[in-house]
Amino acid sequence: MQTSKVHHIINLFLIYNLMNAILTATIDNELIGSPVVDCEDTMVSLTFRTRKPFTGRVYVRGLADDDRCSRNFASNVDQNKFSMMIQNGDCTMQRQRVTGSLEGIMFSLTIVVSFHGTFVTRADRAYRCMCFFRNIKRLTSGVDMSSIGTTELMDAVQMPSCTYSIHAGSADGPPAVYGQVGEKIYHVWECDDDTQGFLVHSCFVNDGRGTRYDLLDLDGCAIDPIIQPDVQYDEDLKRAVVETWGYKFSDTSVLNYQCVVELCKKSAGECEGLTPPTCTSNNRIRRSIADNNSR
């Protein structure tokens, strides 16, 4: 009997800075396009391009003074494309095992691209880099016959490209990088495969200092609808949106969001009963009681 595991990787990254006061400075440079996260067996890398030669620094949030977790480009005079590579498990990289209907391992950390050698400026960007390694298929064969050669089967299915973004004004509005408490913002998830739908679940927000607040449970239902309501899905299950209002932790202006996107094949009926989720107030009451009893 042989078992083959197929691991696929979904790269999602997101950072949303909610600022009441921002240190302003004139930086005659900027990022071009969106950085690219590359997930490998032993490392995570972030590759980005700037309009002019980059003379700032790149570091893992909170570890700017650690040579293993930061790079300084003050002496650069002509390059405008760079990569920051971090070994899996280094630089306070978080490692989370996901069990249940979705099995895999999530690696995550926040990388800051700073255009100034010392200060944080308006031009700087921070990216929450997440690599999700998922077991999506196990093929097992067993035959009680005379000894013959064994054929190993592997299912290599192309994973769709999925994105998570935050927008201002409307779900199709400009990306929200900075915002104010009370402003209307939209969280948007999209996947580009017509044959598959998805469920957004296990979402949380943290302040980068260890404080975490859960937003969606394992079923994809809002835990505290006052902060973030239930997610609304398009009929074709390729896009999901939730409208909410800007908020912040009391002692920090940075919000890091993280969610799990679980895929399902429409033709196989895998999405039925999974997404969109059925969320009721009774479900939320039962979850609250269960949480209180577990404390």
Whole-angstrom Cα distance, residue 133 to residue 41?
Answer: 9
Instruction: Name the residue with tokens 């309009």.
Output: 51
pLDDT in tens, 41-67: 677 888 888 888 888 888 888 888 888
Average pLDDT value over all residues in the chain:
74
Which carries the bigger pLDDT value, residue 257 or residue 209?
A: 257
In the chain, % of residues over pLDDT 70: 71
Question: Within a 10 A sphere around the Cβ of 95, how many other Cβ atoms?
Answer: 11
Model confidence at 5: pLDDT above 70: no
Bridge partners (DSSP) listed for residue 114 = 57
Closest among 101, 123, 122 to 52, alpha carbons compared = 123
Confidence of residue 156 (pLDDT cuts 50, 70, 90): very low
Query: Distance of CA 114 to CAs 31, 74, 128, 218, Å?
Result: 10, 11, 15, 35
Residue 242: CA count within 13 A, CB half-sphere: 23
Residue 109 pLDDT level (bands cut at 50, 70, 90): confident
* Residue 140 · residue 122 · CB < 8 Å: no
Contacts of 267 (CB under 8 A, 6+ apart): 195
- The arithmetic mean of pLDDT across residues 171-186, rounded, is 83
**Higher confidence at residue 126 or residue 134?**
126
Confidence of residue 6 (pLDDT cuts 50, 70, 90): very low
Gap between the Cα atoms of 197 and 266, Å rounded: 6
Check residue 288 and give its pLDDT. 44
Strand partners of residue 45? 38, 85
- Average pLDDT for residues 158-187, to the nearest whole number? 83
pLDDT at 10: 47
Candidates 204, 215, 259, 263; CA nearest to 237 is 263
Distance of CA 91 to the CA centre of its chain: 18
Q: What span, in angstroms and rounded, lies between the C-alpha atoms of 53 and 135?
A: 41
Q: Which residues contact 149 (CB under 8 A, 6 or more apart)?
A: none
Q: What is the pLDDT of residue 239?
A: 96
Residue 291 is predicted with a pLDDT of 45
Average pLDDT over residues 94-108: 72
* Cα separations in angstroms, 107 against 6, 132, 134: 18, 6, 11
